[in-house]
Amino acid sequence: MKGKKNVEDVNAYIKKISDCNGWKVNFNKNILLYLAEGLRDNFNRLGYYNCPCRDSQEDPKIDRDIICPCRYAQADIEEYGHCYCALYFDSKYDQNLPLKMIPERRP
């Protein structure tokens, strides 16, 4: 494992991912903190950023598709304007609108 992460480390990771993909992050600071804490806890327990909204099998090979940003994030953002856990948003999405329910894409 590559050391313990704190929320600041996770926020830097989230920002890097959002910048690289042209996404925005959830503007609600409480939700953002909750998701960042979930990613931190998963990293510190598992050694990788397992999606905080999905159960891990505690094996990076099995969980590969749900390591944040998950394999389904891009499709969710394109179709619904945000990812499954509402961490990442399309840059044009109005976050004042109610969130859309996203069906689980993971088989």
Domain ranges of the chain: 7-89
Distance CA 64, CA 43 (A): 13
pLDDT (tens digit, 9 = 90+) per residue, 44-102? 999 999 999 999 999 999 999 999 999 999 999 999 999 999 999 999 999 999 999 99
7-89 CATH choice from 3.90.460.10, 3.40.50.12780, 3.40.50.1980, 3.40.1160.10:
3.90.460.10
Question: How distant, in Å, are the alpha carbons of 11, 14, 82, 84, 104 from that of 22?
Answer: 16, 12, 12, 17, 23
pLDDT (tens digit, 9 = 90+) per residue, 21-37? 999 999 999 999 999 99
pTM of the model: 0.94
State both tokens at 54: 């999905």
